[in-house]
Amino acid sequence: MPPDSSCFTALNCPHDAVLPEFMGSFSLPAPPNTDLWRKPPSRDTSTAPILYTALRNPFIAAEVTVSADWELEWDQGGLVIFSGAPPGRVAVATTITPEISDEGTSSASQSPPMGLSASTAVATNSSAAAAQTPNMQSAGQQASLVTQTQREREAPPPYMAPAPAPKWVKVGLEFCNGACHATSVVATSDGADWALTSLPQHHARRSDLRVKIERIGYALWVWYEDEVSGWKKLREVTWFFWGVEDKAVRVGVYASRPANFGSSMYERRHGGGNLSPRNLCVDFEGLEIF
């Protein structure tokens, strides 16, 4: 059964775009120069239109059939899964506040004066405290306030540890070198890789492909469906769910047209600069997320 569209969030979509009412069959347009990509050091290109949802239960699997009128180099669409905030969404940074002791150091405890045992030091301090007059106590409190104020001024500001870049994987259909291929990209904090897989001969002329991602332990398995031999495994990402909270997983679909209409390389490849930029419209059928 398709997921409820009210649980989805749109990323990089026009402000007037409306979420599909039925997630079992819908389209997602992608303007030119849009992509989901990462180069080191954590340089994200996150302009591809994406519809994603956060899960209430641990992720099991997701699959969808993707199709389009593929015509430009690197036209693509399919499934995407994030562990953490998707690129373009602000991740929460970690605040680390240094601990300052009464003497301005980070130590939580202090040793007794030389030559006194711990019990003797406690007894001595207790006797001294009992012998203080009210005036001495007031002076001591004022001195303590001054010392505390000085420590606050001298203490370094909290260190904002940067949030780690989210891991993500996308799988789908991509048009490259004049043919459709099964495509998959895996991104870590260091960057992303890109892999194309040629489709079987009986599938090579088709413009649609059903793809699936599945959790097996800590691993994410990536598949595409062959109409003759069934599901074929594209790759296994063994570490994807390692150290990831279930509530931090987000799953959805994406569409992108990375072709750069403004580049001289694109104009040479496609015979001049008279081409008018237009959107790629990717159709999604039978979306299921478990």
User: Is 138 exposed, middle or buried, given 0-12, 13-18 or 19+ CB atoms closer than 10 A?
Assistant: exposed
Single out the residue of 11, 7, 5 nearest to residue 255, CA to CA: 11
CATH 2.60.120.200 fits 5-93+164-289, yes or no: yes
Query: What residue segments make up the domains of the chain, in order of their start?
Result: 5-93+164-289, 120-159
Q: What is the pLDDT of residue 70?
A: 96
pTM over 0.75: no
Tell the residue number behind the tokens 């699936």, with chain if given: 212
Q: What is the pLDDT of residue 262?
A: 58
The Cβ of residue 89 has, within 10 Å, a number of other Cβ atoms equal to 14
The SS3 call for residue 180 is strand
Q: What is the pLDDT of residue 141?
A: 63
Single out the residue of 54, 5, 66 nearest to residue 209, CA to CA: 66
Q: Can you read off the two tokens belonging to residue 13?
A: 């979509």
pLDDT along the chain (290 residues), means of 10: 92 87 96 94 87 94 98 97 79 46 45 47 47 53 62 62 78 96 94 94 91 98 95 97 94 95 51 67 97
Beta carbons within 8 Å of 148's beta carbon, 6+ residues apart = none
The Cβ of residue 203 has, within 10 Å, a number of other Cβ atoms equal to 17
Q: Identify residue 55 by its one-letter amino acid code.
A: L
Q: Identify residue 288 by its one-letter amino acid code.
A: E
Strand duo 61-67 + 208-216: pairing: antiparallel
The SS3 call for residue 151 is helix
DSSP 54: E
Single out the residue of 259, 267, 284 nearest to residue 62, CA to CA: 284
The alpha carbon dihedral of 55, 60, 65, 71 has a sign of positive
DSSP 202: G
Quote the CA–CA distance of 259 and 277 in Å, as a whole number: 10
Q: Can you read off the two tokens belonging to residue 187?
A: 């991104």
